[in-house]
Amino acid sequence: MWLLNFLPDSFVLWLAHTAIIIAVGSFIAGQVLSMYKIFLIPAAFVLGFFGIFVEGKYYAMAEYTAKIEEMQKQVDLANEQSAKTNTVIQTRVVEKIKYVKETSNANIQIVEKIVTKYDNICTLSNAAIVLHDSAAKNVVAPSTGGSVEGTSNVKASDLIATTTENYGTYYQMREQLLGWQLWYKEQKKIFEAVK
């Protein structure tokens, strides 16, 4: 039977039909020629079962292959939709990140033009700097008085510029995260439609 897998489908189908025809002929001949009945009837049943089995296998495989081809078409279509969706989402995220960068840079330029004028008037305490740095590292600031007392050498414009850059980075990461969430949602919708 495994040899049939290596033969062309048209030949296998022809072989099955031939076996069925010979089986019918052998059965009829066995009824007419009673002296050969002992050989012809069993041969007819064996050939008939062989032909029916092979034909059934052929049609089952043809149906299975057709289903596979249909699924492959659906997967290919989903891949095309996925690629288009990826492009739309990527473009959207890149544009939003570009906007965030432009906004952040514009705010830093304002800091450089305006806030730097007040650096000599506004002094920051060491406590403000320590709290800012601790918040940036997501740790609790030390509460010992000696390490945070006094005036810092950090200018107010530098602190505001750093904070502005940090906020800009946050919003860039936010847009990336929102983009990933949208990507996942859209991809899930596309590929769940393939059934």
pLDDT tens digits, the chain, 195 residues: what are they?
A: 566 666 677 777 787 888 888 888 888 888 888 777 888 888 888 989 888 888 888 888 888 889 999 999 999 999 999 999 999 999 999 999 999 999 999 999 999 999 888 888 888 888 888 888 888 888 988 776 566 678 888 899 999 999 999 999 999 999 999 999 999 999 999 989 887
The pTM for the full model equals 0.64
C-alpha–C-alpha distance, residues 96 and 102, integer Å: 10
Q: Where are the beta strands (DSSP E) in the chain?
A: 123-125, 151-155
C-alpha–C-alpha distance, residues 100 and 183, integer Å: 20
